[in-house]
Amino acid sequence: MSTLRLKGGRIIDPTQPAVETPQDLCVRDGRIALLDARAPVDVEIDASGCVVMAGGIDLHTHIGGGKANLSRLLMPETHRLEDACGGCVPSTLDTGHRYAQMGYTAAFEPAMIASNARHAHMEMGDTPILDHGAYVMLGNDEFFLQLLSEGGAAGRNFETIRDYMGWTLRATRAMGVKVVNPAGISAFKFNQRKLDVDEQHVHWQVTPRQVLHTLARALRELGVPHPLHIHGSNLGVPGNVESTLETIRALEGLPAHLTHVQFHAYGTEGAKKFSSAALELAQAVNANPNISIDVGQIMFGQTVTASGDTMRQHAQSALGSPRKWVGSDIECEAGCGIVPFRYREQSYVNALQWVIGLELFLLVRDPWRVVLTTDHPNGGPFTSYPHLIRLLMDRSFREEQLARLHPEVAAECALRSITRELSLEEIAIMTRAAPARLLGLSERGHLREGAAADIAVYREQADREAMFQVPDCVFKDGTLVARAGQIVAAPTGGTHFVEPDYDRGIEKRLRAHFAAQGAVQFDNIAIGHDELCRCCNGGRLLPAACFGASP
């Protein structure tokens, strides 16, 4: 048995009534425990003058799978530069260390291609300290599109699709499902260059609306805690807020998470025909309690964008800086596009993107439905989170930064008149409590008795960037992993995944499908428990409970 007491810190746990007075937080064998104040402990740490929060959880960060390696391969020159792109797609070792140094203890890869699941798990297993999980991509794979198409508008194949989704989640050991540009990645292979919510795929004759509703409904019937993770139609296109609002309507009240919404909140007003539609989108989120979002804030500087959205990445490839790109595909399941990008303060478009992200953070009222992300590395590397937190908490700092932007944006944007400054409690919600709740991680994201002892201890400082950059200490399952920015232990993180029930009858049909079309035999596709454990470097397996089916 090992015990720990963090003495006299200010505990910020949004799942419990706020307590202003300093408290002790105790840990026994890796779990938060209620110990008598006089009970002797193995280790006691003075946390006076500090804020104590649960470990941070990043629910959307591209840290596993083919895209990360392709990005590193595409940008060899930048690895030689200090603080350059080695920083925007760090190695697995650096990724684990840098997250832990900031007080983060879990990260989720949002775009795992089913046929690449082994690689994604191995790469995350090679990332030290962090717990991890992944969302498998569906909605552009041939098997799904064929079923949807043959089922017609009446949705006759719904049960088959639901079972296929259940099988896919289990076979790939995924934590959720992401749809990227619904049906659009596939449509690109048939030479379509855009696909709006009600446009038909030329070959399969289905619309993104059908894809969205079918996937969201199937996930709910399987009882998967994390709702459909949606990268909507028309990413990056001026005026795409209409597609985003239509996406929300297409769900008809089903729970869903809209990701990197900054890239999906553009209007067409003004001389440049590019404007912020953050207010319209925030109003829609405020009015639809079934919807949660993460922002995908952009940060100025060099990065690389890595996305499953081959259609949109192809369209943006001419804007690449440096100008080169990769597009690829495996097994006709989804897609992949990598485009290097440099966001500039003096670019009208980039400056407005920065403004739109901050407006979304500040205009959505319920922090439980907004998660802090930069869509690492697409909007900027995750290492910029402390800077982003300061922008959200400190209005005068925000105004200083705003004044450096393209003059038209600085003078005219609505952000200028937004006075809201987020509180420490709201930051704790957006960076740990809300992502834990949205993922169904009942033991993480809070500090109640019995929770996993993932803890970050930040010294109170007026400069919130400095405060969140280097916590005094960080614990993973009760083990001290970072102290004053130094990694002192690197335990292997665990793997989160779901195991929904489904009708095994689907396997006969899948066996025939893979025999005819796949590169891998059906029997070799599913990742078993032992193999997952090996893939993930011996880390713990952390299956998340599914809730009862609710048709």
Nearer to Zn ion, 157 or 383 (CB): 383
User: Between residues 124 and 147, which has the closer beta carbon with respect to Zn ion?
Assistant: 124
Judged by CB under 5 A, how many residues of this single chain contact Zn ion? 2
H or E segment and range at residue 119: helix 117-125
Q: Note whether 34 and 80 are within 8 A (CB).
A: no
Instruction: Please report how close the Cβ of residue 249 comes to Zn ion at its closest, in angstroms.
Output: 20
Q: How far is the CB of 265 from Zn ion (least distance, A)?
A: 14
- CA-CA distance, 96 to 208, in Å (whole number)? 36
* Closest separation in Å from C-beta 260 to Zn ion: 6
Looking at the Cβ atoms of 231 and 464, the one nearer to Zn ion is 231
Least distance between Zn ion and beta carbon 324 (Å): 20
**Shortest CB 375 distance to Zn ion, Å:** 4
> Which window, 12-20, 198-206, 228-236, 450-458, contacts Zn ion (CB under 5 A)?
228-236
Q: Which is nearer to Zn ion, 45 or 85 (CB)?
A: 85
Task: Give whole-number Cα distances, 160 to 23, 112, 218, in Å.
Answer: 53, 22, 10
Choose the stretch contacting Zn ion; rule: CB under 5 A; options: 76-84, 123-131, 313-321, 369-377.
Answer: 369-377
Smallest separation (angstroms) from Zn ion to the CB of 379: 9
Smallest distance, Zn ion to C-beta of residue 526, A: 26
The binder of Zn ion chosen from 359, 375, 465, 477 (CB under 5 A): 375
Q: b or e along 313-344 (b: 16 or more beta carbons within 10 Å of the residue's beta carbon)?
A: bbbbbeebeeeebbbebebbbbbbbbbbbbbe
CA distance 480 to 498: 28
Quote the least distance from Cβ 309 to Zn ion, whole Å.
6
Binding residues for Zn ion restricted to 9-68, rule: CB under 5 A: none
To 5 degrees, how large is the angle CA 316–CA 320–CA 323?
130
Q: Which of 121, 229, 231, 496 binds Zn ion (CB under 5 A)?
A: 231
Q: How far apart are CA 375 and CA 54, in angstroms?
A: 21
Nearer to Zn ion, 67 or 406 (CB): 67
Q: Which is nearer to Zn ion, 164 or 263 (CB)?
A: 263
Tell the smallest beta-carbon distance from residue 518 to Zn ion (Å): 25
Stretch that binds Zn ion, among 99-107, 241-249, 372-380, 443-451 (CB under 5 A): 372-380
Site string for Zn ion, 326-365 (x = CB under 5 A): ----------------------------------------
The Cα 157–Cα 173 span in angstroms is 24
Let me know: does 105 contact 476? Beta carbons within 8 Å. Answer: yes
The CA dihedral of 403, 408, 414, 418, to the nearest 10 degrees, is 10
Judged by CB under 5 A, the stretch of 84-92, 368-376, 417-425, 517-525 that binds Zn ion is 368-376
Indicate the residue whose CB is closest to Zn ion: 231
Compute how many other C-beta atoms are within 10 angstroms of the C-beta atom of residue 484: 11
CA nearest to 45, candidates 456, 328, 516, 362: 456
Q: Which is nearer to Zn ion, 231 or 406 (CB)?
A: 231
Helix (H, G, I), strand (E, B) or coil at 291: strand
In the chain the first and final C-alpha atoms are separated, in Å, by: 45
| Site of interaction with Zn ion (CB under 5 A) | 231, 375
